[in-house]
Amino acid sequence: MDSFNPTTKTQAALTSALQAASAAGHPEIRPAHLLMALLTQNDGIAAPLLEAVGVEPATIRAEAQRLIDRLPQVTGASSQPQLSRESLAAITAAQQLATEMDDEYVSTEHLMVGLATGDSDVAKLLNGHGASRKPCGRRSSRCAAARGSPAPTRRPPTRRWRSTRPT
């Protein structure tokens, strides 16, 4: 992933997930941490994307929190949590999606689709509610309407999406 170029919002979500995992004493940053970080971002796109495919964000948020609450905690020597295998797979899938779409940066939308890919608990959660890669991809008209912005070709594109969103 040497070409990983996150948008400002994606970088903020990754940082937030790291902080949440660290504060909870979790040894790994799990996909549930990433999902919660996306769902709790101010002016984020995660909730509107879920709504666009008919999924209630509050339900996903509550179930993601339950997944986090069940994670093991470590005490004693403090070390920074590392990305879990599933989180790395989701980020890699997001990077691949951005590349397929000829986007220069990995947006939070790409990360949401990446989280819905694979076999993690979060992927199962999202897919179980109908928020799979296919309906959440940018080529879906419902998600394109939720996104409302052009392709991420510079660092802060996820900040602009609401300003161009149809009302």
Question: For every one of its 167 residues, what pLDDT tens digit does the chain have, with 9 covering 90 and above?
Answer: 457 899 999 999 999 999 999 999 999 999 999 999 999 999 999 999 999 989 999 999 999 999 999 999 988 767 799 999 999 999 999 999 999 989 999 999 999 999 999 899 999 999 999 888 765 554 444 445 555 555 555 555 554 445 444 44
**Domain at 8-74+81-164: CATH code:** 1.10.1780.10
Distance CA 109, CA 112 (A): 5
Query: In DSSP terms, which residues pair with 83 in a beta bridge?
Result: 29
Q: Which residue has the tokens 């989180």?
A: 87
Q: Residue 2 has what pLDDT?
A: 53
Distance CA 111, CA 100 (A): 14
Asked whether the beta carbons of 50 and 61 are under 8 A apart, the reply is no
Asked whether the beta carbons of 26 and 80 are under 8 A apart, the reply is no
The one-letter code for the residue type at 64 is: A
For the chain, the domains span 8-74+81-164
Q: Which two tokens stand for residue 49?
A: 């994307």
The one-letter code for the residue type at 133 is: R
Q: Which residue has the tokens 């300003």?
A: 163
Q: Residue 133 has what pLDDT?
A: 74
Q: Which two tokens stand for residue 7?
A: 């948008």
**pTM above the 0.95 mark?**
no
Q: Residue 24 has what pLDDT?
A: 94
**Residue 36 CA, distance from chain mean position:** 8
Report CA dihedral (6, 158, 108, 49) to the nearest 10 degrees: -170
